[in-house]
Structure formats: structure tokens, C-alpha cells
Amino acid sequence: PLKVTKICCIGAGYVGGPTCAVIALKCPHIQVTIVDLNKARIDAWNSPDFALPIYEPGLVEVVRQARGRNLFFSTDVDKGIEEADLIFVSVNTPTKKSGVGAGFAADLNYVELATRRIATVATSSKIVVEKSTVPCRTAESMRTILEANSRPNCRFDILSNPEFLAEGTAIADLFSPDRVLIGSLQTQEGIDACESLKQVYANWVPPHSHCRPLVFRAVQLAANAMLAQRISSVNALSALCEATGANIDEVAHAIGYDSRIGPKFLKASVGFGGSCFQKDILNLVYLSESCHLPEVAAYWRQVVEMNEYQKRRFSKRVVDTLFNTITGKRIAVLGFAFKADTGDTRESAAITLIRDFQSEKALVNIYDPQVSHEQIWTDLQEASPLAPLNTIKKQVTICKSAIEACKDAEAVVIATEWKEFKDIDWEAVYASMNKPAFVFDGRLLIDADKLRKIGFTVTTIGRPSSTLV
Ligand code: NAD
Ligand code: UDX
């Protein structure tokens, strides 16, 4: 098998950036070039003060060690392709907005454009690794495109290597992955290509977690669907807990003692977000329908519907608790990212909540430690396409701290579980708010009893409102 010496990664996003930065760190003998068409993104990866385009704990340290040594970021996609012997395709695969499968199927246009570029530019043989989350049989399409357009003496071996990192813990996940899946054709060439990629991971991943043959490209869709289903199940139970007087945290804890279920990923929340769960489930729904399995499709669709219900239910609870109207009232939303330790806002529950508050004519103050103001305005504009940005800006203020956001507010809503929200000076927050002062904890983050002692009226997801006062 070929010994890989030069890797190119097409796509410098949340997956390509951290994944290939870690490969560069762990494999100093391999030159890694991450390319992207988005110049602003590449400039940020190259910024002298390491103001990287994505926030991820530990990422700066990795880039600091490897950048300029054997890790490079560039907009010269063609040069990156030409030089490499192994190419990761790590471009975005968003849900299609129009055409066949709109709203469900993955948009494979970016994958195809990147593949065609490889075919056009390559003058030597390449191993092409599909890292983006793509439907079954995409590798076959890539192979057909590459073979139909390749020059003589250029071979392309296609591998599937789905990525399982979670944002916020990407570096830790990449340092010690639960498993590495690599799929290939079961021909000698395919097996050799698989071995070449295996050798790259072998620089730091123990061999036992290596290279299970990838029989079903939908493994990643299935894994994400089952993780999301766990959260929707817990969130469905949280509604029951609120109605019956139980406590979801205690219920989840007790359930997690069953070793078959396990304690992780059972935290009730205001709803899951992120770029993967909803997109991948909708993809699975589409796949199920394409296979004429409507009951299977309906089952998975319900996971997303439960999530929408959870968000709606939470904003309704805020309105109900604030005496059935929030018109003209100031609400501080703490957290805008879809989870803690990331600046990513894709599908964040906070966006939906704020849109709901806006439509009830509330005034909203927002604070998040990592999300840029520009990103917040873009997301709010997308959520309310008919409202001019100026109108949105009359209702919404972005604040520089949690304390500033809470000043003169009627209610505080915790939308993201940033640790710093636990440690705010809640006494000072209480003193600066209108009374009665309400806190809504959508993340089971704060010590409700402590806040009640200060004087707050606290509503926690998955706990009944009757025990509030
Ligand atoms: P992203 O949008 O952050 O990054 C994709 C990048 O690819 C963008 O910067 C874009 O400019 C670039 N790009 C698109 N077409 C290109 C082309 N032809 N040439 C060069 N650059 C091009 O996306 P992401 O979050 O990194 O996700 C990438 C893929 O990985 C998706 O398929 C996603 O489903 C999958 N995935 C994501 C996660 C996650 O946690 N974000 C985890 C596992 C898998
Ligand atoms: C997910 C998968 O975990 C990862 O393996 C895959 O590669 C990409 O998709 P990610 O979306 O980055 O990762 O984060 P994850 O930690 O899975 O959280 C997703 C959403 O679920 C977040 O909004 C999070 O707040 C929420 N969540 C998670 C809960 O509400 N409760 C939990 O117990 C866990």
C-alpha cells in the first residue's frame, strides 16, 4: 500500500479544519494542506494572532503547534489537489431547499463540484476519501465521475470515512475516537487504499478501534438518528414530568443506571440543535421513503417533530408564566450557540425561542460568549425573512455580558449551557431586574433552590411549575 506523505482536505469547516489539524499534529511526517473557496475562512485560519474561524476548546493549541510546520491553509484548491496523494472531501452537505427531496434529502452539489475539480486537476493517482456525511452510494457516483473524467495513468481509489466528532469536544474526540470506520471496495486496490488511510490513523489511534469494514454508509445517519432519538425521548418525558410533578433529572439519572441504557446523553433540554441531527434524520426519512417504508419514515420524522414541540412548549411556558403576555417586556436570553463550548449556531434552539419572543412583541437582550454579533443578526434575519433587519434591531439588543443582558429584564432564559452562566453573580442580576424576577432554565444548568432563596421565580425544564414559589 502507498505510504501517504501529502494530504489535502477540501473544506476548511467544522469538520475539515479540526480533523486535519489533528492529523498534522499527530503525523509530523505528513504535509497537510486544508483548502477552501471561502477566502475569509482561510484568512482566519492563517491569522497571525490565531483568531480562528471556529471556536473549539484545544484547537488553537493544535494549530499553533502544526501551522507552518506541516499544516497549511490555502485558497489554492487546485494546487492542494495536485500535490496530494490522499484527498479528504469534507465539504458541506446541507438539506436540499428545492427540487426532488426538498426539505429532506442531502444537497450533494458541493460534493460533486469538489469531485469534478479533483478529476479535472489531478495528473497523478489519488486516494479520495469521502468524509462529508453523504447518502449510500455516493462513493459510487464519485467513482463514476472521477473515472469518466480522469487522464490516462490516473487511478482513483474511493474510501468512505465518516466523522463522528461532536462540536465543543472535537479535539478530545479526535484524539481518542470511539471508532474509526473506513469503507472501501473489496478489491486488492480498495483494500490497499484502506490500509494507507489506516496507517495515517495508526499514528495515534490504537489498532483495535480501526477500520471496521463499512457495509452500510448510513451508519452515521443511524448513529445520529439514535442519539437524537434519545434526546427526544428524554424531552418527551420532561413534558410528562412537568405535568405529573416528577423531576426529569432524577428520572434520567435512574434510567441511566441500567447498564444497557447508560448515563450519557440523557439531558433534557430546550431542544437539540446543531448542523447534523435534524439534517441526518431528515435524510434517513428520505431514504426510508425512497425504500417504500413509510412507517419507518414516520417513526424517524417524529424525533424531529418532538424537538420542534419541545422548543414551542418552552416558549409557551415563558409566556404563560409571565402572566400570559410578554408584549413590551424585556427578556434576557443567555446563550445563542446550539450547545456550550462552540460558536456554532446552526439549528440552535435559541434562534427559534427568540423568534417566538419577537412575534409576541417582547424586547430581547442576547448574550453569548462566543457567537459573533454578525452571526446573530444573520440568523435572526433568516428566521424572520419578512421582517427588515432594522425592525428586528428595534426589538433585539446584543449585549457584552450576561449581567448587561439581564439589566431591567423581567425574565432570564438560559438557552445554552455555558458554564459561566452557573457562576454569574445572581444577587447582582436580581438587584438589577424588574420584579418579580423570573428565570427559565432550559438546560438544567443552575441551582434553582439557590436562586429561589435570592428571590427569583425559577422555572426549570422537566420540573413542574407548582413547586416554584
Ligand atoms: P462547513 O460548512 O463548516 O464546512 C464546509 C466547507 O467546505 C465550507 O467552508 C465551504 O466553503 C467549503 N466548500 C464547499 N464546497 C467547496 C469546494 N468545491 N471546494 C472547496 N471548498 C468547498 O461544514 P462542516 O460542519 O465542516 O460539515 C462538513 C461535512 O461533515 C458535512 O457533510 C457534515 O454533515 C459532516 N459532519 C459534520 C459534523 C459537525 O459536527 N459539524 C460532524 C460529523 C460530520
Ligand atoms: C453530533 C454527534 O454527537 C456526533 O457524533 C456527530 O459526528 C455530529 O453530530 P454535535 O451536533 O456536534 O455532534 O453535538 P452533540 O453533542 O451531539 O449535541 C447535539 C445537540 O443535542 C445539542 O444541541 C445539545 O445541546 C443537545 N443535547 C445533547 C441535549 O439536549 N441533551 C443531551 O443529553 C446531549
Q: Is the CB of 238 under 6 A from ligand 2?
A: no
ipTM of predicted complex: 0.96
Read off the pTM: 0.93
pLDDT of residue 156: 96
Mutate to test the pocket of ligand 2, among 220, 221, 264, 269 (most ligand atoms within 8 A of CB): 269
Q: Which three cell numbers stand for residue 358?
A: 419577537
**Residue 95 marked in a binding site:** yes
CA 96 to ligand 1 center in whole angstroms: 15
- Segment 175-179 mean pLDDT: 94
Q: In terms of Cα–Cα distance, which of 402, 404, 430 is closest to 336?
A: 402
pLDDT of residue 215: 56
**Residue 36 marked in a binding site:** yes
Catalytic residue among 276, 291, 399, 406: 276
Q: At residue 366, does pLDDT exceed 80?
A: yes
Question: Relative to the alpha carbon of 36, which ligand is closest?
Answer: 1
Q: At residue 287, does pLDDT exceed 60?
A: yes
128, HSE (Cβ side, Cα atoms, 13 Å): 31
pLDDT of residue 467: 46
Q: Is the CB of 227 under 6 A from ligand 2?
A: yes
Per residue in 345-359, pLDDT (tens digit) is: 999 999 999 999 999
Q: Predicted confidence band at 213 (pLDDT cuts at 50, 70, 90)? A: low
Q: At residue 210, does pLDDT exceed 80?
A: no
- Segment 258-283 mean pLDDT: 97
Catalogue the E-assigned strands of 118-180. Answer: 126-130, 156-160
Q: Is the CB of 92 under 6 A from ligand 1?
A: yes
Tell me, yes or no, if 9 is annotated catalytic. Answer: no
pLDDT of residue 301: 98
Q: At residue 313, does pLDDT exceed 50?
A: yes
Q: Is the CB of 273 under 6 A from ligand 2?
A: yes
Helices (H), 386-447: 389-395, 402-406, 426-432
- DSSP assignment of 211-245 equals -EE---TTHHHHHHHHHHHHHHHHHHHHHHHHHHT
Q: Is the CB of 364 under 6 A from ligand 2?
A: no
